[in-house]
Amino acid sequence: MLEEHVEQVVLYVGREPLAMLPVFETPSMRYEFQLLDMHEVDGEPLVESNDWGDNLLALLTPVEQERVLRKVEEQIRKLKGEEQETAARLFVILAGIIGLEETVIRRLNMIDIMENRVLGPAILKGEATMLASLLEERFGTLPEWVADKLGSAKEAELMAWGKRVLSAQTLDDVFEG
């Protein structure tokens, strides 16, 4: 059995001023909780933290928004893989609460998605598959060496080869140049 006092705290993050009461009541029960309005929280410690989660919460406080946006963006750029994706999704969700989702999405689009260890390879694979499909449509069944080249290609190579598909007379013309 828990021998400690437990208190539930509800964080309010809405756009409108806090109007709800710190109680939930039905005909058969009454439950009280503490309400914490994020509009009244000192966001400075959250902005100064090196934890991206703290920085995200600072967006909901009265701290200057542009400063918080820059800090969160900086922190997200340091992350890799799934953690970066999670942080970016939460950033967009919190921004939506305060009406900044379009601004945040625009800013996040400036992050090089090809650096992401999950999305980057998936995008390259999709580009290689599309190029293989175009090559096959133009030149017929593809030899094994083409699949090998496409499978190990970098983004710049795929782009260059893709541009040559329209003017190349042979498969060799696509990959030379």
pLDDT for 15 equals 78
Residue type, 88: A
Return d(Cα 59, Cα 48) in angstroms, integer.
12
pLDDT tens digits, residue range 152-175?
888 888 888 988 888 889 989 998
Long-range contacts made by residues 136-145, C-beta under 8 angstroms, separation at least 24? 138/165, 138/168, 139/170, 139/171, 142/171, 143/171
Residue 48 has pLDDT above 70, yes or no: yes
Provide the 8-state DSSP code for 115. G
This prediction has a pTM of: 0.54
pLDDT tens digits, residue range 110-120?
656 566 666 66
